Every structure is written in structure tokens, then in C-alpha cells.
Amino acid sequence: MTDGPGNTDGSRIADGSGTRDGPGTNDQGPGTHPARRPREPAHAGGGDGADHERARQRILRGGRHDPHERSRRRIQRRRHIAVLKVDAPRGDQTTIPMGSAAGARVGQEVIAIGTPLGFLQNTVSRGIVSGLRDVDGSTLVQTDAAINPGNSGGPLLDRNGAAIGIIKSGYQGRDGLSFAIAIDHARAVIEGRPAPAAAASSTPSQYKPLAPAVASATDERRAMAEKAFDQRMAQIGQTAQNLDDYWRRFRAACYEGKVSAGFDHEWFALFDPRAMQGVVAPTCGPWHSEVRRMAFDIRDQLLALDERARQEGVYPGTRRDARRRYRLDYAGWDR
């Protein structure tokens, strides 16, 4: 392949998953391990945490072991870019030239290469540039090319075969919405110079909402379940407050003795015989039965609601926080 437009230093990506260390790079220190097949001696990968390790493995797996070969790395943590350099590259390694996202235009064709699901190596998908986004000072190339888990760190190519981006993310349940970090940021890391100014024409504040992950269909269902759960909790909480008044009248007229403190609602003591050591007046039996019926009805509603919310994927912490918010958090509900 020939160098892409704007590629004046001959930097290239090895086999779609690496970038060459350009002039002026000061390596951060050696580490000994086998090389995969890099003719050009480095790799740039996008992604978080484990993606850095997967990017490293894409170079290390499948190659011959040579204990004299060493790789050295540079990392741009803010943009999740890692660069590996191999000291003894193979001479027959296929390479991909580094281009630039600066010349990318909305609507132009692009090609994504990666390993979907972690085992479908060198899978190619085609799409267009949907937009250039400035997110917190980083240029992201938005594309509708099919991106799946495992593609992260692969190259996004223009029609000339030059890499213009490093695939970063695609959103499950949002076909046609994927992003790649502009290759210009990787070039800056390789050459040891400051990152280039964002190429996107829009202001960062416009696209800050793009930074968080877009909710999947499962997340949306969970959010709806959380909303319904909270609304029902509010209703039960109001019923519990109404019972407070009924309980106070019952206690004043019919109960002699102490009630253990520490409950959000004093009538929670009805679920714990040890909390009520006093005596109910003999003439108040029906009233006592009614207040117990109302309390146990609230308990049954809460237990049923909690189980339904659990089945709908509402997290335990969310359910607990709602119970506390509506003063319905009590360890003895299931007694």
C-alpha cells in the first residue's frame, strides 16, 4: 500500500492493528515478550482498561517466540491510546498507512477492520463518516459501519486504505452509531508531541452528551421498571403515613405499655412481638385486628412489589434506596 493523503513521514499500521513509531519518539522502557508479526514496530489501540491488554495481545498472539525481541510502549491514558514498539519486526509484515481524520468529510466511505466477539479475526465492514465530533478536546469520527464487541482498537480506513481512526466503541441496540478516535491523536503519541487541536467543527459542549454510553434496550426496560417501582413505592408510602394516624388513635385508646423505638413507623412493632410488651384493652380487639390487617396489607404489597421489581431487573440498591426514601425500610418485613 502507498501512504495515504497527508502522510508524509511514512508511518504505517501493521496488519490493521499497529502503528509505526515515528521520528522523535522517546520510548518509556522495554518489556520482553514475543512479537506477533509486526514489520512496522508498533501498535496503537483504543479502548479502556482491558482493551489495552487486548490491543497488546493482538500483536503478541500467533507469532513466533524470540526472546531477543522486546516491545516498548507509550500510553495516552486520557484518550485510551496505547502504542507498542517491537525491536525485531518481520520483514514480510503487511502494513496499513496512517492517514488523517483532518481531511475526512461527512458522507465519505470508510471501512472498519476488527475481531468481532473476540474470535472473528480480520472482519471487514463498510460504512460512511456520519460526523466529526469534538468530545472533551478529542476528535471522534462517527460512522455507521457495523461495530461489535471485539472491534475496539482496530483501524477505520478511508477509500485509499489509510487509517483515519482507531475504533473505540459501538452501542448495543443502536445500529449505525459507532465512534473511532482520530488517528491524529495516535500519531501525536507516537511522535511525542502535543495532541492536535480537535478537527471537529462543533463545540465540545454540544456533544458532551455523547460521552456517556447510550442505554441499551435492557437499560431502557430497567429504567421504565425503576420509574414504575418508584411511583408504586410513593403510593405505598402514603398509605403508611395514613396508617400512622390510625395507629396513634389506637395506641392512645387501647394500648397500655411501651413500644420499642427506632422504627420509621411505630406500627412496625406489630411485626415483632418483642417490640410490644404492653397490653391491648379487651374491648379493643376488633380495632387491634383492623390495625394489624392494614399493616400486614402494606407488608404484602411491599414484598410483591419488590419481587416484581427484582424480576424486571431493578437493582437491589435501587430498591433499598427507594424503601429508605419513603420510610419503608424494615428488616422484619418477611417475618
Q: Mind listing the pLDDT tens digit for each residue in 189-229?
A: 778 776 555 444 444 434 443 334 455 677 788 899 999 99
Predicted confidence at residue 117, as pLDDT, reads 66
Predicted confidence at residue 264, as pLDDT, reads 87
Topology of 12-210 in CATH?
Answer: Thrombin, subunit H (2.40.10)
Quote the Cα angle for 160-45-206, to 5°. Answer: 80
* Domain parsing of the chain, residue ranges: 12-210, 217-325
Do residues 266 and 245 make contact, with C-beta atoms less than 8 angstroms apart?
A: no
The owner of cell 511514512 is: 10
Do residues 263 and 269 make contact, with C-beta atoms less than 8 angstroms apart?
A: yes
Task: Give the separation between CA 116 and CA 143, rounded to whole angstroms.
Answer: 16
Residue predicted with more confidence, 148 or 301: 301
Region of residue 49 (left: phi > 0; alpha: psi -120 to 50; beta: else): left
Predicted confidence at residue 294, as pLDDT, reads 96
pLDDT higher than 90, residue 79 = no
Residue-wise pLDDT tens digits, 261-319: 778 899 999 888 788 888 999 999 999 999 999 999 999 999 999 999 999 989 888 89
Residue predicted with more confidence, 80 or 163: 163
